[in-house]
Chain A
């Protein structure tokens, strides 16, 4: 069965520090990988996605993620966070193949940036 694991439910970090939000997935079929961000009391918006090609993907707001097929990971990173990055971040995997085509979300990681 396919699944997405975000091990950290909450990540506190000081402003201007680097951050990494971890995401691992399990799937026996082809996948596309996504990171979504949800600001307080808002819907989800796409941060970045990996479809194919270069394993390092750059997204909005200075975030980037690296696809590691051997470790089945897609960790999100930012070298220097701002207060405005405080939000919940969801990793998602679209699995497809044969009759399967579904988007599976992780449980989310709350990034709490402190001054």
Chain B
């Protein structure tokens, strides 16, 4: 298994540009999430999905859209990039079990800079 994969690894955008960060997992996990990591703030949840066709907002959803058309893929879209979105983005997945006592698997991250 490749686990959780993310592309691209690095990206530089100009303010106002749009782009999609790709995330895929081959573990048949129902739950997938997007986090952003900023210095001194830990990881903050952007959006998450509990299964194909179902998405919901996390702690910091503004400026981001997601969709979940398949179990494997969970892309994150920036419609109009802003410098405040400069960050490292992590995708994660985990299987669905009651109580949430299971491990969350993380991708290697995408380092995004918005000029």
Contacts and interface: CB of A to CB of B under 8 A. Distances in A.
B42 A90 contact: yes
Given A90-B42, A108-B42, A46 B103 contact: yes
Interface string B90-110: 101000000111011011110
Interface string B30-45: 0001010000111111
Contact of A101 (B4, B42, B100): B100
Interface of A: 4, 6, 9, 30, 32, 34, 36, 42-46, 49, 51, 90, 94, 96, 101-103, 105-108
Interface residues of B, number: 20
B45 A102 contact: yes
B99 A42 contact: no
Nearest to B43: A105
B74 to A, nearest CB: 15
B41 A43 contact: no
B99 A43 contact: no
A17 to B, nearest CB: 25
Contact of A43 (B42, B45, B108): B108
Contacts of A45: 106
Contact of A107 (B35, B42, B99, B107): B42
Contact of A44 (B40, B44, B90, B100): B90
B100 A106 contact: no
A9 B90 contact: no
Contact of B106 (A44, A49, A101, A102): A44
B100 A107 contact: no
Nearest to A31: B100
A108 B44 CA distance: 12
Contacts of A106: 42
